[in-house]
Amino acid sequence: MTELLRIEDLHVSFKTDDGMVRAVDGVSLTLNAGETVAIVGESGSGKTVTSLSVMGLHKKGQAEISGSISLSDHGTFKDVVHLSDDEIRDIRGRAVAMIFQDPMSSLHPYYKIGSQLAEGYLVHNRGKKKEAMARALEMLDLVGIPEPAKRAQEFPHQFSGGMRQRVMIAMALMNSPQILIADEPTTALDVTVQAQILALLSKLKKEFNMGILLITHDLGVVAQVADRVNVMYAGRIVEEGPVDDIFYSPLAPYTLGLLKSVPRVSKNNERLKAIPGQPPSLINLPVGCPFAPRCEYKQHSSEAGCNTTRPALLGTSSTHRSRCHVPEKLRHELFAKELKEVQG
Amino acid sequence: MLKFIGRRAAFAAMTILIVSAVVFMIFSFLPFDPASLTCGQRCTDQIVEANRVRLGFDKPIYEQYWLFLSGIFAGRTYGAGSAAFTCPAPSFGYSFNENACVTDMIREALPITISLAIGALIMWLIVGIGLGIIAAKFKNRWPDTSSSVFVLLATSLPTFVTGLALLIWVTIKWKLVPLSLSGYTSLIDNPFKFMQYFILPWITLAIAYAAIYTRFTRAALLETLGEDYIRTARAKGVGERVVFFKHTLRAVLAPLITLAGLDFAGLIGGAIITETIFNLPGLGRLTLRSVYEFDLAVVLATTILAAVVVIVMNLIVDMLYAVLDPRVRIV
Amino acid sequence: MSEAILKIENLVKHFPTGKGKRGEKEVVKAVDGISFELKAGETIGLVGESGCGKTTAGRTILKLVEPTSGKIIFEDKDITDYSSSKMRAIRAQMQIIFQDPYSALNPRQTIGKIISAPFEIQGITPQEGTKGAVQNLMARVGLNPEHYNRYPHEFSGGQRQRIGIARAIALKPRFIVADEPVSALDVSIQAQVINLLEDLQEEEKISMVFIAHDLSVVQHISDRVAVMYLGKMMEIAATADLYAKPRHPYTTALLSAVPLPDPRSERTREHIILTGDLPSPINPPAGCVFNTRCWKAQDKCRTDVPQLVQLGASQVACHFPEN
């Protein structure tokens, strides 16, 4: 397995009028070639901030970043956190590319599709205009846009939502990046179009042996495309592991809570098991486990430390780790029973 | 595109016709007798009645309007016999006060107002957009702060203050620009004199407008910089300068042009204060004088002209918008 | 079965686009002849993709937009042609909950004022006083009644949706249209709001049209589900029937496209991937509107419009239904 990305102890905070927002608080994760790693979490969990850090897209002076993001530029590792602006720009769109949630607003309304695609190539291959256009048409064809030569001359508003997300994907592929970051790539799309885009991403991943970092809140999408999963809550990874472990033997109470609260198509009209309460403010995080105020398993914690200390990311298995003060064995038993009830 | 222009032009022509009719109606319902206004100090009923017939005020209003309209295309003769006075087409009426065709009066005033407006427009676009770009680029740093001081000052100072201040200091105290007594010289005849003549009025107008454009450009740029497609450009690896000057500025252009077109149209109607301060015999002054003197024929003509300019500029702005913004459907 | 509280007959809503070729008026066929009945206490889920007309249908039923043709019969009264003043008396009985809890509340009004607005508009003073009634409502939807004087921005998305729900149930309506009420919410909060809606509905016996694009949410909350596509009704069936045995190919495709939170079954499941995009509702395809994307389409589908007919326990508009 070729490692493409290694994030270690990433911290990102933003200054606001109300105080420091600790958006990402010690995140570590890896991404290998040919695999899809998902970051799952709700709004404010820090998943998008993490992905923008990999692209070096935070504004200077607004975000305070520490830790390291070691990224493979076709074999050579570079630490995005400590690169100069020009060095990051050189990596963006070439070694790592990104697609965004809203394909409607992510394309420039005034430029033709073809030239927007070609621009991404020209930035990294100065002066090769003809090559860039040819490449643009090739990529449009690859992502399943019929009549690429004609469509390249059109403007974004002439494309449907699904087609625009295809264009975004084509744009991301212009320089054959090894890493693709997909930030909620299907959230703004209808379910039948989502199915098309997910199928396309899977196909491209295999074809180019890319590593995909998928940011999403949708557990169904995760189950369909992810190999490994990181669950984020309040700026931290609360559980990481292979997709099956996360879905069938979750160890973090928050992961279990998420799995219980999704309405399931195959399930009858039972009452949903919602997680009570709301996510904490990132400005005033509780001293103990950030999930403690919403957690139903506090009483099982032998140390009773939930309200005083933050749990570490630990696990008996090297691939499946979670943050919780409740003994892992006890969680296994408790959670398996509960999960059985909802999964049937 | 051609069809679009044709349709819009026809629509504009209709609007102009309606506007002119409405203006004409308003003027004929004013509580004065237009005929007695044409009469000087030694007035007799006889003269009033003679003028009434001569100027066509004895006819019903729709006929007067028709005469006015046909005058625009065919010219019009007032009175008969040896006292007849002909205004050739396009005739917008006859000013009894000045004893001249309104068209000729406008023909004299218009170049001055246009020169004033165009020069000021160029100046405020350069200053306003330039400052706006600088302010946005250095947001919350000293260039931004200084530009906002300029904006505050320039928007709070009325043009008669800046205009008079310029006149007093630059012309009278420092004698940098001579007080023009010779009157208007066209750009082609003597570019240097032309510039001398207009430089202070331009600056006066430009200061007021540049402030608005600085604020508008800054706000529009900053808003656009937060758009998703700007983030996309950065994600492609596009450099900050290209992101700013190509992707961001391009998106701000269309609304800027709309604003400029409409402001320009407003100025053609007459920059009354500036023209008065600098003693420019432009349209604004002409209108002002006619209002004071109840020279209704001139007021009518300048009002319609102002409306026509606004309508035509609107059409031009719409067409430019369609060229600049591909999302605007041309149908 | 209890009696129908709402009958929709051949409801049509066309929006003129203001364009079009000479003589012909171009219209967007947002809703193009849908019919259904809603029984007292029942929830019908209205599903479909963006542009299928589900939101317009919801608003037309409440007469927030005037229907082009068709009939809306609410509690045996034909309200289709009711004037807005005549509607006011009925408004107390029909309410709406909006999708976006951020824009649906006036930011300059306190929560107390927002929730008491229905009382004011209808000129009703509740027994316990307006403030008392509002605080009872707040408690019912899980808000702290002491927050009576707070403003919307002090609340999270989930709480705002609770405010919207409190406002909607203030006058004890018989019927609610819930337009994507949980789409803007996070999963854990979404579950709370769904539970709240279900509880309220059970206690108050409110009938509901629940509009959503999320099929699992719809399945959870609905007794029956209606599937729309390009302004037409494709299929209506009891929830269990529809999800177990979809009859219309479009329903099949929709269900197949939903990824399940179950990786093992996802690995083995075949997803039907529809080709192409949604056709324009200005020029919908002739015959069956779904024929351009349907893998079963025959010549007949391109010419004959299928009618909604009973098939087993379901009603389906298809020439070649599944199962």
pLDDT tens figures, C11-29? 999 998 766 555 567 889 9
Q: Does A118 touch chain B (CB under 8 A)?
A: no
Residues of A in contact with B234 (CB under 8 A): 55, 57, 92
Residue of C nearest to A268 (CA): C220
Q: Does B240 touch chain A (CB under 8 A)?
A: yes
Judge: C188–A261 Cβ closer than 8 Å, yes or no: yes
Residue of C nearest to A248 (CA): C262
Distance separating alpha carbons of residues B269 and B313, to the nearest angstrom: 12
Selected residue of B232, B243, B321 to mutate for chain A interface (largest A Cβ count, 10 A): B232
Judge: B326–A157 Cβ closer than 8 Å, yes or no: yes
Question: Between residues 176 and 195 of chain A, which touch chain C (CB distance below 8 Å)?
Answer: 190-195
Which three-class secondary structure state does DSSP give residue A17?
coil
pLDDT at C24: 64
Residues of A in contact with C239 (CB under 8 A): 269
Identify the DSSP state of C310. Answer: E
* Cα A328 to Cα A232, A316, A317, A325, distances in angstroms: 19, 8, 11, 8
Q: Does A160 touch chain C (CB under 8 A)?
A: yes
Average pLDDT over residues C32-52: 92
Q: Left, alpha or beta for C216 (phi > 0: left; psi -120 to 50: alpha)? A: alpha
pTM beyond 0.90, yes or no: no
Judge: B234–A94 Cβ closer than 8 Å, yes or no: no
Q: Which helix H or strand E contains A239, and what residues bound it?
A: strand A236-242
pLDDT tens figures, A42-89? 888 999 999 999 999 987 778 899 999 999 998 899 999 999 999 999
Q: Does B88 touch chain A (CB under 8 A)?
A: no
Closest by alpha carbon to A98, among A173, A215, A182? A182
Q: Which residues contact B224 (CB under 8 A, 6 or more apart)?
A: B230, B248, B251, B252
Which three-class secondary structure state does DSSP give residue B156?
helix
Residues of C in contact with A257 (CB under 8 A): 188
C27-39: strand order across its sheet: C27-39, C4-16, C69-74, C77-78
Q: Does A125 touch chain B (CB under 8 A)?
A: no
pLDDT at C95: 93
Residues of B in contact with A55 (CB under 8 A): 234-235
Neighbours of chain C (3+ CB pairs under 8 A): A
pLDDT tens figures, C117-133? 999 888 888 888 899 99
Backbone angles phi, psi at A235, to 5 degrees: 85, 0
Q: In the A/C pair of chains, how many CB contacts fall below 8 A? A: 133
Closest by alpha carbon to B186, among B273, B242, B119, B232? B119
DSSP-H helix ranges across chain C: 54-61, 84-91, 111-122, 129-140, 157-169, 187-204, 215-221, 239-244, 249-257, 263-268, 299-303
pLDDT at A128: 92
Backbone angles phi, psi at B285, to 5 degrees: -65, -40
pLDDT at B189: 81
Judge: B235–A109 Cβ closer than 8 Å, yes or no: no
Asked if C185 and C196 count as a contact pair (C-beta separation under 8 A), the reply is: no
Closest by alpha carbon to B282, among B108, B166, B94? B108
ipTM at complex level: 0.90
pLDDT at A268: 58
The domain spans of chain C are 4-93+207-316
Neighbours of chain A (3+ CB pairs under 8 A): B, C
Q: Which residues pair with B100 in a beta bridge?
A: B95
Q: In terms of CATH, what superfamily is B108-324?
A: MetI-like (1.10.3720.10)
pLDDT at B330: 57
Judge: A273–C186 Cβ closer than 8 Å, yes or no: no
Positions of chain B with pLDDT under 70: 40-41, 180-182, 270, 329-331
Neighbours of B33 (CB within 10 A): 12
Half-sphere exposure of C278 (CA within 13 A, CB side): 22
Judge: B229–A109 Cβ closer than 8 Å, yes or no: yes
Distance separating alpha carbons of residues C161 and B239, to the nearest angstrom: 42
Neighbours of chain B (3+ CB pairs under 8 A): A
Closest by alpha carbon to B109, among B269, B2, B256, B255? B269
Backbone angles phi, psi at B124, to 5 degrees: -75, -30
Judge: A191–C220 Cβ closer than 8 Å, yes or no: no
pLDDT at B55: 78
Q: Left, alpha or beta for C122 (phi > 0: left; psi -120 to 50: alpha)? A: alpha
The domain spans of chain B are 2-102, 108-324
Distance separating alpha carbons of residues A152 and A148, to the nearest angstrom: 6
Asked if B232 and A109 count as a contact pair (C-beta separation under 8 A), the reply is: no
In this predicted structure, the answer to whether residue C44 has a pLDDT above a threshold of 90 is yes
Distance separating alpha carbons of residues B56 and C75, to the nearest angstrom: 70
Crossing angle of the two packed helices C157-169 and C187-204, in degrees rounded to 10? 10
Residues in chain B: 331
Backbone angles phi, psi at A209, to 5 degrees: 55, 45
Distance separating alpha carbons of residues B78 and B87, to the nearest angstrom: 8
Task: Select the residue of A55, A98, A105 nearest B227 (Cβ to Cβ).
Answer: A105
| pLDDT tens across the length of chain A (344 residues) | 799 999 999 999 998 888 899 999 999 999 999 999 999 998 889 999 999 999 999 877 788 999 999 999 988 999 999 999 999 999 999 999 999 988 889 999 999 999 999 999 999 999 899 999 999 999 999 999 999 999 999 999 999 888 999 999 999 999 999 999 999 999 888 898 899 999 999 999 999 999 999 999 999 999 999 999 999 999 999 999 999 999 999 999 999 999 999 887 665 567 888 899 888 888 888 889 999 999 989 888 866 688 889 999 999 888 999 999 999 999 999 999 888 887 76
Measure B61 CA to nearest chain A CA, in Å: 51
Measure B10 CA to nearest chain A CA, in Å: 29
- Using only C-alpha atoms, chain B has a radius of gyration, in whole angstroms, of 24
Per-residue confidence band for C296, with pLDDT thresholds at 50, 70 and 90: very high
Q: Which helix H or strand E contains A180, and what residues bound it?
A: strand A179-183
Average pLDDT over residues C128-141: 92
pLDDT at C61: 95
The more confidently predicted of residues C188 and B146 is: B146
Distance separating alpha carbons of residues C118 and B79, to the nearest angstrom: 72
Judge: A157–B235 Cβ closer than 8 Å, yes or no: no
The percent of residues above 90 in pLDDT, for chain C, comes to 68
Judge: A123–B238 Cβ closer than 8 Å, yes or no: yes
pLDDT at C1: 46
> Which tokens sit at B329?
């459907």
Selected residue of C50, C159, C162, C186 to mutate for chain A interface (largest A Cβ count, 10 A): C186
Task: Select the residue of B228, B238, B325 nearest A110 (Cβ to Cβ).
Answer: B325
pLDDT tens figures, C209-252? 999 988 889 998 999 999 999 999 999 999 999 999 999 999 99
Distance separating alpha carbons of residues A142 and A106, to the nearest angstrom: 20
Q: Which residues pair with B94 in a beta bridge?
A: B101
Averaged confidence pLDDT in chain C: 90
Average pLDDT over residues C165-173: 92
Residues of A in contact with C243 (CB under 8 A): 265-266
Neighbours of C132 (CB within 10 A): 12
pLDDT at C37: 94
Q: Does B222 touch chain A (CB under 8 A)?
A: no
3-state percent breakdown (helix, strand, coil) of chain B, nearest 5: 75, 5, 25
Q: Which CATH number fits domain C4-93+207-316: 3.90.1150.10, 3.40.920.10, 3.40.50.2300, 3.40.50.300?
A: 3.40.50.300
Dihedral Cα B255, B259, B265, B266, nearest 10 deg: 160
